Amino acid sequence: MKTSKVQRFSGICAGFLVCVLAAAPVFALETVEPGSLTIAFSGDMPGTGYQDSRMVGYDGEILQQISEKLGLKVKPALMEWSGTIASVQSRRVDVMAGTMGWTEQRSKIMALSDPIHYFKNGITQTDKTNWNSLKDLQGKKVGTITGFSFIPEMRKIEGLQVALYDTSDAAVRDLLAGRIDAVIGDPPVMQYAISRNEQWHLHFNAFIDNDPNFPLLTGLGQVVFGFNKASPELVTAVNAQIQTLWKNCEMRKIGARYGLTQDVWFMPEGKDLRLGVDRPAGWTLPGCK
């Protein structure tokens, strides 16, 4: 049976419309700057960096891939760590990244993503010591970064004097100069820096404690991204992409480029503190063997 010109034209238009819809995002995500994902980050590697118009580092590569999948251009916003959360809260940026650990307090002021990797906190120190417990830090002067979630727990350690720094570099410089005894920083950042500077004679020991009174210092850590709570659609879209990266084991591939190869980064072991807080009771942590 012959097809009329009107039918043929309608068929062509319908086919064209299907192609257009297939090429375009299913819906436009609302962001600070339309069509872009504005990212607050501190530039501490191996978490985040910006090079050749692309986000780099473990967190950075993940956000770069997610942005591309969502049809958004990356807009970097480099700043001190202490300013990243405030930037999210005030909606000057869409998301903050940089080995940020999940905490209940942060979940109350931001929408936190599914984890992109796991970690155990520990002590960065000179080769003159081999500390690996909370007790080892009693009476010591220990550096950490302003805004880190576990600072209140550090203040509970008997005799410990907390020294606050704006950057990991500043804390490590004071450790090398002997002005502080140790540093508790982002484990990936510490291990990355130590591995590339053998002349420092520093090493990192994870805490052997599993103390419920110090859950952030000694428990299972989850690295997440932070969003404004008024952006639920964006958070949902990002989480869907994070789950896909876990299922494809892309997290391990990205991690390998930044020295994160051990199972501890990718296999959750320990109590999930998020259940009943910002995740439902039946929710399970993703992982990749």
**What residues does each domain of the chain span?**
36-119+221-265, 122-218
Does the pLDDT at position 191 exceed 90?
no
- Average per-residue pLDDT in the chain? 90
Specify the range with the lowest mean pLDDT, choosing from 101-110, 184-193, 244-253.
184-193
Work out the widest C-alpha separation in the chain, in whole angstroms. Answer: 92
DSSP 113: P
Q: What is the mean pLDDT of residues 2-29?
A: 46
Torsion on CA atoms 154, 205, 285, 63, rounded to nearest 10:
90
pLDDT of residue 262: 82
Q: What is the pLDDT of residues 269-280, one digit of tens each?
A: 888 989 999 999
The encoded tokens of residue 104 equal: 């209940």
Mean of the pLDDT values across residues 66-74?
98
Is pLDDT above 90 for 21?
no
pLDDT value of residue 142: 98
In this model, does residue 267 exceed pLDDT 80? yes
Q: What is the pLDDT of residue 27?
A: 56
Strand partners, 193: none
Written as six digits, the tokens of 48 are 């985040």
Determine the Cα–Cα distance for residues 234 and 251; give it in Å rounded to an integer: 21
Residue whose C-alpha is closest to residue 123's, from 104, 96, 143, 106: 143
- pLDDT of 5 over the 50 cut: no
Query: What confidence score (pLDDT) does residue 115 get?
Result: 98
CATH topology of domain 36-119+221-265: D-Maltodextrin-Binding Protein; domain 2 (3.40.190)
Q: What is the pLDDT of residue 9?
A: 38
Distance between CA atoms of residues 274 and 286, nearest Å: 13
Work out the percent of the chain whose per-residue pLDDT is above 70: 91
Residue 25 has pLDDT above 80, yes or no: no
Q: What's the pLDDT tens digit per position in 247-262?
A: 999 999 999 998 888 8
Give the mean model confidence (pLDDT) for residues 130-157. 96
Q: Are 220 and 272 in contact (CB under 8 A)?
A: yes
Terminal alpha carbon distance of the chain: 58
Q: Are 257 and 145 in contact (CB under 8 A)?
A: no
Distances (CA, A) of 28 to 71, 196, 233: 9, 42, 10
Burial class (CB in 10 A: 0-12, 13-18, 19+), 170: middle
C-alpha torsion angle, residues 175, 180, 185, 187 (rounded to 10)? 60
Q: Using the predicted structure, report yes or no on whether residue 234 has a pLDDT greater than 90.
A: yes
Third-level CATH fold of 122-218 = D-Maltodextrin-Binding Protein; domain 2 (3.40.190)
Burial class (CB in 10 A: 0-12, 13-18, 19+), 79: middle
The reply to whether 36-119+221-265 and 122-218 are identical in fold is yes
Looking at residue 1, what is its pLDDT? 39
Measure the CA–CA gap between 100 and 57, rounded to whole angstroms: 14
Question: Residue type at 172?
Answer: V
Residue 196 — very low, low, confident or very high, per pLDDT cuts 50/70/90?
Answer: confident
pLDDT band, residue 23 (cuts 50/70/90): very low
pLDDT of residue 13: 43
